[in-house]
Structure 1
């Protein structure tokens, strides 16, 4: 009999985790496929060195343009600096990203000030952070004339400034994968890497070995033993096979740990379009794994897939106090609640459903076999509930906080750390990701809304939401959010420029795809293949629509669409 990839001891845990395989019911998976070969297809920026008798402002602008060319450790950019500054300047300290058409250079020698609209920042570890709306950046550059009477920059801050266009040309965004604490699910992180001769595969593995981003640090782990490194410093890709040779620290790892780190490597490198498989060696010798071939692919590690669960493909809708399943356009009554409902969601094995009453004051839970609803919690303005992998329910009560209903029925308020956001806004909605570790929230002061992502930190005695950070800077009002992939969030929202639209925002680089929606759109649902559905109230009609190639197709009547197995 074929052994479970992570050993028989974890078989039960894996089955309960709700992790699915690669979607097969759709040719398109939103947010996961990288459309370019980032190792080879890019527009290289060739910087121009300073010319004779350039004025101070031209020197500063020339330096900023040259920062888009990292070749030779920013050799051209350093020519705009004095000898001492060229030696001490550290471009690897981080990147501030600005809108290209907003930059201004003011002042006169010896001090010039560069100001621009800030789009975001890329840390020294390659993590992108979206800037707050209206954020500005300002840098001072001091200049002087050298012995040849040529202006050069004598004093500047470490790090570099890049326009959004420079980042698009010179960097690529990718997911990298870590693990939850029980090693039962991959947890998606992201990294932005420079496109250069070292190759994207090498950059991704180096980032993986560096560990997760700070906000995931308390809840995500890596299987790589401390000190693990690339034996030869690079990851060549030959005929579609990424060849990863690791240092001997791996030899001390047990079978479970080797399987876990293999899954991390394979899922991370498989995001590259030029990688079809991964071959892992330790100092030149193949990494031995039971029942796994020399060349590994994502099909070897489906048990801990980070993707949406493709078995969640049965549409359910709410009609007053009844829940119906809809299969092949045929509606079948499934459950009858004690009150009219507005939204519902199934747990990870579809054995239970949590629902919110139409007045937004009561959270109900039912076992789908018995059909008996019980009151789990009550509040003033409850959001649609969300489940984690362990069977706990979370719901926001606007103005009151976030409630957790544990699987044993205990209800408690959980702290939400918003210190990174610098706000006292209240949580309007909370949605746990497929991995059970990350969480998306909508924060609001009653007028302005913010979408942020953080981590769900749980112990035997407490639960907290930590590490919240903004993922989008234009949205001003949010009606509903849902995870559209491991690396993207969909929102029915408005940005102040018009009516509500569908925003699908990548967590890799903060970029957003916009789609129009029918008037009266109220709620989102995402099936296991990443296809987006919306609930629409049109006068007295309540309708469900499905997105197909950018347009919306009417499916059935009802509200609060959700999916089960």
Structure 2
């Protein structure tokens, strides 16, 4: 896949339409406080300590000071509350969400003229909003900064000092501060795929406070998956199951979760899935074990064993010497696959490989997609204009024509007819797509309205893994160009494209901000590495790996870099 060719083939980005500004963050209810979580990462570790209000501050200074002070959640935002009237200090909900903007230099405070006799006034803060976090902790980005207004009502107290009598719920953070995760941090709520085989992360952003464990557990047990993800995952917390105690207090890396007595049966399998979801969701704050109790009694819940999504640490490549795993300059061939690939009748342009590379999807120079496994090569899809295929963990090979993004088909390993799963109706072109290693989500780079965007869809499957449809799109990025996408880990999509004259790799968190790094000029294909911090790209026959700030050459004479689906190779 050639970046220049794909970017030229797609329409160039157009001027974005202005989006409607919002005045405040949505709030649906209080967040119940929890007890102290005895974990270093569970509370705030901020070094920044803002200043409270001083005598004589005018309304503009009060609002600006309040915005700055709200960047510290220490003691339940006690310093920020000093800028509020006593009544508003009780009502204000700082952890209701976040308005993320371009920075303080672009904030404008509009204040009517006031005199010494004025006792009430207003301040309107206008900023360039780039993203939001809602009351559930879900992150939502935007294609570009848009003007948003936040209104504040102020009044003088009995000492003649201005205080804020009405403030929007939530806080304001600039994009750099938010990405640093010093105030709000990402925590992955864990759900299961429809077959109960894999865990699927749903990233949420919560304040770094002592009650973070409680917030995570409340969101998992009493909440729901993000709307876009809901039809692609399952949870063990169904029916009337709820928390009997809203606080969760980890002690010595063990957290007790108290449920009500609404379980219809004490099914050990379901209890094990509950415990596994809880433990994996709380692992980000240092919890190693969860004890589930009902009615004061330990359920003695076991744990489930979700399948791994880790890829083999060795690159999987096609060279003049053959196809296999590359290590120390030598290729380890794969039985039932390597010989068939060497005898492939067309020049190979793309390869997607299942765990252990026992089954691969191959595209030749004529565009036809084939499957190779067990010493057999079978043609899968011969439609015109197909892009590089992607494989899922249930053995389905996914194909789609570049000019027909809504015509995605999934081909079963057992043979037979393809299953149509749809696709975005408003897109004119798709340049790349990839199924996540858990099989629950599909990432696509498309062009719609002359603009590139990368979106993620939940995949509807039955309990045997057969796909049937895609959910609503969740747009995660608006790059200036996108030629290749790949899942770098369970919650990060790598987007290889262009930014001006430079080739760049955008590491886009699904449910969070992105990190962009320069890529080698000739880079054409991106693939995950292991550990998950490693990334590989191929360009001009040279294989590069990045495990730190720099790219290092890992091999040469490489024709195709295969995208590994996940799981450790056995050979």
Q: How does 1:103-502 map to 2 (within 5 A)?
A: 103-109=106-112, 110-145=121-156, 149-164=160-175, 167=178, 168-198=181-211, 200-209=212-221, 210-250=223-263, 252-272=265-285, 274-289=286-301, 292=302, 301=304, 303-305=305-307, 307-310=308-311, 312=312, 315-319=315-319, 323-324=323-324, 326=326, 328-331=328-331, 332=333, 333-334=338-339, 335=341, 336-348=343-355, 350-359=357-366, 361-366=367-372, 368-380=373-385, 382-401=386-405, 402-407=407-412, 408-411=415-418, 413-417=420-424, 424=427, 426-445=429-448, 448-458=451-461, 463-472=468-477, 475-496=479-500, 498-502=501-505
- Please give the alpha-carbon distance, in whole angstroms, between the structure 2 residues aligned to 1:234 and 1:161: 27
- Please give the alpha-carbon distance, in whole angstroms, between the structure 1 residues aligned to 2:551 and 2:432: 27
Is the Cα–Cα contact under 8 Å of residues 527 and 536 in structure 2 kept in the other structure? yes
Segments of 5+ residues of structure 1 without an aligned counterpart are: 1-35, 293-299
Is the Cα–Cα contact under 8 Å of residues 320 and 340 in structure 1 kept in the other structure? no
Q: How does 1:6-45 map to 2 (within 5 A)?
A: 37-40=40-43, 42-43=45-46
Describe the superposition over 1:65-92 as per-residue Cα deviations: whole angstroms up to 9, x where unpaired.
Answer: 2333446665554554456655665545
1:491 Cα deviation from its structure 2 partner: 2.4
Is the Cα–Cα contact under 8 Å of residues 250 and 258 in structure 1 kept in the other structure? no
Report the 3-state secondary structure (helix = DSSP H, G, I; strand = E; otherwise coil) of the residue aligned with 1:500: strand
Cα distance change, pair 275–324 in 1 and its aligned pair in 2 (3 A)? closer
Describe the superposition over 1:74-123 as per-residue Cα deviations: whole angstroms up to 9, x where unpaired.
Answer: 55545544566556655454321123334422433244331222231111
- Which residue of the partner structure matches residue 525 of structure 2? 523
Report the 3-state secondary structure (helix = DSSP H, G, I; strand = E; otherwise coil) of the residue aligned with 1:226: coil
Q: TM-score, normalized by length of structure 2?
A: 0.78
- Please give the alpha-carbon distance, in whole angstroms, between the structure 2 residues aligned to 1:441 and 1:326: 28
Cα distance change, pair 185–554 in 1 and its aligned pair in 2 (3 A)? closer
Report the 3-state secondary structure (helix = DSSP H, G, I; strand = E; otherwise coil) of the residue aligned with 1:493: strand
Is the Cα–Cα contact under 8 Å of residues 123 and 151 in structure 2 kept in the other structure? yes
Is the Cα–Cα contact under 8 Å of residues 225 and 253 in structure 1 kept in the other structure? no
- Which residue of the partner structure matches residue 552 of structure 1? 552
Is the Cα–Cα contact under 8 Å of residues 338 and 373 in structure 1 kept in the other structure? no
- Please give the alpha-carbon distance, in whole angstroms, between the structure 1 residues aligned to 2:97 and 2:61: 24
- Please give the alpha-carbon distance, in whole angstroms, between the structure 2 residues aligned to 1:201 and 1:143: 35
Segments of 5+ residues of structure 2 without an aligned counterpart are: 1-38, 113-120
Cα distance change, pair 45–227 in 1 and its aligned pair in 2 (3 A)? farther
- Which residue of the partner structure matches residue 65 of structure 2? 62
1:49 Cα deviation from its structure 2 partner: 3.9
Is the Cα–Cα contact under 8 Å of residues 132 and 139 in structure 2 kept in the other structure? yes
- Which residue of the partner structure matches residue 535 of structure 2? 532
Cα distance change, pair 435–237 in 1 and its aligned pair in 2 (3 A)? same
Describe the superposition over 1:506-560 as per-residue Cα deviations: whole angstroms up to 9, x where unpaired.
Answer: 335314152x4332111022245434222211xxxx2333334443123242232
Cα distance change, pair 461–192 in 1 and its aligned pair in 2 (3 A)? closer
Report the 3-state secondary structure (helix = DSSP H, G, I; strand = E; otherwise coil) of the residue aligned with 1:238: coil
Is the Cα–Cα contact under 8 Å of residues 395 and 429 in structure 1 kept in the other structure? no
- Please give the alpha-carbon distance, in whole angstroms, between the structure 1 residues aligned to 2:248 and 2:142: 33
- Please give the alpha-carbon distance, in whole angstroms, between the structure 2 residues aligned to 1:172 and 1:438: 23
- Which residue of the partner structure matches residue 6 of structure 2? none
Is the Cα–Cα contact under 8 Å of residues 71 and 173 in structure 2 kept in the other structure? yes
Describe the superposition over 1:346-380 as per-residue Cα deviations: whole angstroms up to 9, x where unpaired.
Answer: 23564432112225x322222x2233231423222
- Please give the alpha-carbon distance, in whole angstroms, between the structure 2 residues aligned to 1:37 and 1:349: 39
- Which residue of the partner structure matches residue 28 of structure 2? none
1:191 Cα deviation from its structure 2 partner: 1.4
Report the 3-state secondary structure (helix = DSSP H, G, I; strand = E; otherwise coil) of the residue aligned with 1:342: strand
1:431 Cα deviation from its structure 2 partner: 0.8
- Please give the alpha-carbon distance, in whole angstroms, between the structure 2 residues aligned to 1:527 and 1:561: 11
- Which residue of the partner structure matches residue 510 of structure 1? 513
Cα distance change, pair 506–353 in 1 and its aligned pair in 2 (3 A)? same
- Please give the alpha-carbon distance, in whole angstroms, between the structure 2 residues aligned to 1:485 and 1:108: 47
Cα distance change, pair 128–160 in 1 and its aligned pair in 2 (3 A)? same
Is the Cα–Cα contact under 8 Å of residues 343 and 560 in structure 1 kept in the other structure? yes
Cα distance change, pair 318–409 in 1 and its aligned pair in 2 (3 A)? farther
Is the Cα–Cα contact under 8 Å of residues 111 and 140 in structure 1 kept in the other structure? yes
Is the Cα–Cα contact under 8 Å of residues 529 and 535 in structure 2 kept in the other structure? yes
Q: Which moved more, 1:189-198 or 1:320-329?
A: 320-329
Q: Which moved more, 1:393-402 or 1:455-464?
A: 455-464
1:416 Cα deviation from its structure 2 partner: 2.7
1:470 Cα deviation from its structure 2 partner: 2.9
- Which residue of the partner structure matches residue 99 of structure 2? 96
1:455 Cα deviation from its structure 2 partner: 0.9
Report the 3-state secondary structure (helix = DSSP H, G, I; strand = E; otherwise coil) of the residue aligned with 2:272: helix
The number of aligned residues is 502
Report the 3-state secondary structure (helix = DSSP H, G, I; strand = E; otherwise coil) of the residue aligned with 1:58: helix
- Please give the alpha-carbon distance, in whole angstroms, between the structure 2 residues aligned to 1:446 and 1:320: 42
Report the 3-state secondary structure (helix = DSSP H, G, I; strand = E; otherwise coil) of the residue aligned with 1:378: coil
Cα distance change, pair 400–424 in 1 and its aligned pair in 2 (3 A)? closer
Report the 3-state secondary structure (helix = DSSP H, G, I; strand = E; otherwise coil) of the residue aligned with 1:197: coil
- Which residue of the partner structure matches residue 27 of structure 1? none
Q: Which moved more, 1:181-190 or 1:167-176?
A: 167-176
Q: How does 1:40-51 map to 2 (within 5 A)?
A: 40=43, 42-43=45-46, 46-51=49-54
Report the 3-state secondary structure (helix = DSSP H, G, I; strand = E; otherwise coil) of the residue aligned with 2:293: strand
Cα distance change, pair 191–357 in 1 and its aligned pair in 2 (3 A)? same
Report the 3-state secondary structure (helix = DSSP H, G, I; strand = E; otherwise coil) of the residue aligned with 1:221: coil
